[in-house]
Structure 1
Amino acid sequence: MSDIEFTQQQKEGLTEALQKYCADELGIELEQFDAWFLLEFVTNKIGPVYYNKGLSDAQSVIERKMLDIADELYQIEKESEF
């Protein structure tokens, strides 16, 4: 797995969202620097779990589509004496 990377704009938005959540829900005021470190921690420790779940979901979709394709191919097969 490659590292999870965000654009600068995404980092800023996510950092602001963390600051707002911590202030509104937890009563904790995070400075931008602290919020950025929290984002890095969450990205590095929890991000791979979400990444792997996304891969698993994508694999399930692909497997279902492949079964659909196999069914359609079976339906168009021609009978042959050979």
Structure 2
Amino acid sequence: MAELELSKDEREQLVRVIQDHMRDELEQDIGNMEATLLLDRLVGPLGDTFYNKGLRDAAALLSRRADDMADELYTMEKIIKTDR
């Protein structure tokens, strides 16, 4: 699996989110460099975790859809009448 790559705009937005959180919740002002370092440290494990969760959610959705299609196909079957 490739490394999670963020666009410049995504990185800047996330850096601001980190800075806002640190200021609002922890009363700590941090600069762009510190917030970027924190983002770089967390992106790997958090990104992988959310990616895996997304894959599991997608697999569950596909499984439900496949079950629905199988049910619909079953209802379309014709009863075979025999003359016995």
TM-score by structure 2 length? 0.88
What is the aligned partner in structure 2 of residue 20 from structure 1? 20
Displacement of 1:79: 2.9
Percent of aligned positions that are identical = 35
Shift >4 Å, 4+ stretches: none
What is the aligned partner in structure 2 of residue 4 from structure 1? 4
Q: How many residues align?
A: 81
1:59-70 map, 5 Å: 59-70=59-70
What is the aligned partner in structure 1 of residue 49 from structure 2? 49
Q: Secondary structure at the match of 1:46?
A: helix
Q: Secondary structure at the match of 1:79?
A: coil
Amino acid of the structure 1 residue aligned with 2:73: L
Amino acid of the structure 2 residue aligned with 1:28: Q
Which structure 2 segments of 5+ residues have no match? none
Counterparts of 2:54 and 2:46, CA distance in 1: 13
Q: RMSD between aligned alpha carbons? A: 1.3
Counterparts of 1:32 and 1:80, CA distance in 2: 73
Which structure 1 segments of 5+ residues have no match? none
TM-score by structure 1 length? 0.89
